[in-house]
Amino acid sequence: MSLARAAGTVLRPRLISTPLLRTRAASSHAHEEHHDDHHGEAHDSTVYPKEDFSSPFWGRLALFGLGAVGFYKFAPSPDEDNIVTRVIAAYSTPREVWEKLSLKHLVQSVEVSDDSLLVADAQRAPVHRYRYPQRFEQTSPHLHPVGLAVDISNVVVKNV
């Protein structure tokens, strides 16, 4: 046996054979000190402030509510003439302009719908198929009275 193998068997930890029945290391009854310990979980040590309605948030909310009620009670009515309505009227677009734009949009929408209906209802031109197209080539151009015969000299027969 080589020296490296011999050193490996000596230095390698030996496996201990496991017994068929293992015994339980825990005791059969619970201890009170184990209930408080959550098996290594970190505890929150933050100190939180007292929760009540004396915080600044609730004071600001109450002031905002009183301000909204006061504004609603003392604000001018919509039919009164005041500076706010005059400023809004000065910077807003007149009613006639919006009516003109709406009418133009309506006319353009009707044109688009008519065009889309035209395209949707479109059909190919009817194709007349004859059973014996060779008859066009068999007719004689002679001995026809004037005006009773159709000129078919430009007709081209397609083989489909």
Residue with tokens 């030996």: 14
Confidence at residue 43, expressed as pLDDT on a 0 to 100 scale: 81
Among positive and negative, which fits the CA dihedral 104, 107, 113, 118? negative
pLDDT at 1: 55
Q: What angle do CA 13, 14, 19 make, to 5 degrees?
A: 135
Q: What Rg, from alpha-carbon coordinates, does the chain have?
A: 51
pLDDT at 16: 57
Q: For the whole prediction, is pTM greater than 0.85?
A: no
Compute the mean pLDDT over every residue in the chain, rounded to the nearest whole number.
Answer: 79
Is 90 exceeded by the pLDDT of residue 36?
Answer: no
Is 118 within 8 Å of 98 (Cβ atoms)? Answer: no
What integer pLDDT is reported at residue 150 of this predicted model? 74
> With 80 as the cut, is the pLDDT of residue 133 above it?
no
Mean pLDDT of 100-119: 97
- Provide the terminal-to-terminal Cα distance of the chain, rounded to the nearest Å: 94
Q: Are 155 and 136 in contact (CB under 8 A)?
A: yes
Q: Which two tokens stand for residue 112?
A: 């688009």
Is residue 104 predicted with pLDDT exceeding 60?
yes
State the pLDDT at residue 30.
Answer: 54
Q: Is the pLDDT of residue 86 over 70?
A: yes
pLDDT at 32 over 80: no
Surface-to-core class of residue 133, CB atoms within 10 Å of its CB (0-12 exposed, 13-18 middle, 19+ buried)? middle
Higher pLDDT, 74 or 100: 100
